[in-house]
Structure 1
Amino acid sequence: MEQLIPLDYSTLRVVWWALLGALLVGFAVMDGFDLGVATVLPLVARSDMERRVVINVVGPVWEGNQVWLITGGGAAFAAWPLVYASAFSGFYLAMMLLLIALILRPVGFKYRSKLEAPRWRSAWDAVLCGSGLVAALVFGVAVGNLIVGVPFGFDAQTMRPLYEGNFFGLFTPFPLLCGLLSVCMLAMHGSALLLWKTDAAVAARARSVGICFALASLVLFALGGWWVAHGLPGYTVTSAIDPDQLSNPLSKTVAVVAGAWMHNYARWPAMWIAPALGLGGALLAALLLAARSAALAFISSALSVAGIVLTVGFSMFPFLMPSLLTPNASLTVWDASSSRMTLWIMLLVTGVLLPIVSLYTAWVYRVMRGKVTQAALGDAPHAY
């Protein structure tokens, strides 16, 4: 049956690595501005009406944007089951914290305007802000831990993941830097959206806040890049690789070498596009926000977010989840995937459904185009 599949195993693995990256970029860009808007809510809105304006910017679209996270999680589960199992075992408490934040967010959207009592609304506004901040921080800390390595291994007989870390061990200096970068870049992205979609005082405050977060993202991303290039241990496969072999993460040898995460840029110089987008997009977003060029500032912030996410993927390739405990058990593109048949069937399904979802999303944003103003909310009984 597998002889009928037109793509070889190694090609399918790379395709799914690229698709997973695209889904993560889609989530960071699309749902990222939702989290960013929630994070900056108390900084850009002071009255109840101003907070309603901010919430209604993302209110009609946040549920659809969650599809990117669900799709990315589903793709990781089906295409990279060992990564999914190891990550959810190791990051269990962090995942629970993330899920609590993501569960409270829709509750905040739905219940915030059910009562007019100021304390009721202020409490839900705090929940929305906290959920956005916590989610952005946890996502960044998780990525930072992937870069430094996760303390896990495998039982050689059962291939059951064995995790030896703890919740507080996730918050070491470099992952915390990544968490702060995640918060700042999403706050930049959300602020750019608010400048584009609102007016008056809210837009003015969003512009000032966005400039600060854009510059902070630039500095933190540059600092992280310097840290990776000058001393942070990276991982490299030292044994021969058969990209068409059956998945078995214990069939290779891995060395931990300072600066190893920079090796791919020497091998494939085109990868420098990603960090260039991360740095250049943040700088350009700050300049365009200062110039009040809202649409271009939002596009620039989106490019910066995409560049930062892609930089992580390009730097770590072919690693998906390095093992700090047992480097040889690190999960890579070549030894952590599902079967060739599974990847092919999923690719066919994705090729049909992903364009449909993308077209529907584009249509929704076209329908919801235009600014959200206080006057418009006064005539909208179904607004938040």
Structure 2
Amino acid sequence: MTMKPAARPASAHFSSGPCAKFPGWSPNKLKLDSLGRSHRSSLGKARLKRAIELTRAVLEVPASHLIGIVPASDTGAVEMAMWTMLGERPVDMLAWESFGEGWVTDAAKQLKLKDLRVLTAPYGALPDLAAVNPAHDVVFTWNGTTSGVRVPDASWIAANRGGLTICDATSAAFAQPLDFARLDVVTFSWQKVLGGVGAHGVLILGPRAVERLESYRPPWPLPKIFRLTSGGKLIAGIFEGETINTPSMLCVEDYIAALEWAQSLGGLKALMARADANAAVVQRWIDARDFAANLAKHPATRSNTSVCLTLEGDAAVPKSMVKLLEAEAVAFDIGSYRDAPPGLRIWCGASVETSDVEALMPWLDWAYAQARG
């Protein structure tokens, strides 16, 4: 009989989004002078610009790339890129989990792209990356949040490509190295690795993406919140803190606080090291159990943020475990995504303390034993 563990995680927040707040977070860490002020005031613009500057510094975005804050989280940023840039060339869409499949649906059924090729793989695997045509535009997720499968690197993207690369990096940014030289568009949301508050997305554009925006006009109408150009020229203010719609300045201040925390740790390398350490704890637990497996079949493709597990037994086992762990207040929101195979999904991003992941592991043993009866 597996005994109930005595030690508990100090924080039970292992959700894959919104994710855990950074250690030591409190409302007192937020500057509130910008609240109740216009985001177009000198103070509002300065704070939005501060968020952009810190993003560049912490994420190590090269000077060649522009950074903008846009509406509707990562979804808004990806849609903005797809609606404004796709259609000039054939498009390769990569999908190996639900969010990638969502972008395929939008390309095929909403934009109705004529020259569209979809490369897919089941949960746990990657499509054939070598099959991507460098003359085509390509849309892909760097890290599949709902499958725990990531691309190992960007070597499959041709340096001399003709098409654009549009990368949904929302659960990879600040945790995995992004090769900006091979990424023309990168998107993410605040509520993932840095544990920020949602509702806003970040859109990063390389020179080739800007060139596409200024030289190509899509054949479909563009909603106002998707428009990145005016008179055939990029709206530069978007990338200097002049947002398209009204942002929550409280969310902005929360994001700035998270970025400043990241800087205090040592920046990107420190963030990636924290995520790697957290994921390693879970993988060691998996390796020592004959009833658990990482959904990602190949080690090089295993996420260090959204670690997805499958368990021996029927679908009722992980569901029961999730309820047991939540009732004990040791792990919240760790059930697999609704479209994914039954299992668990443990967020291991940088805002999670390794000691909390370590404290959770014995509870998984206990909950599994309880669920199996």
- Normalising by the residue count of structure 1, what TM-score does the alignment of the two structures yield? 0.29
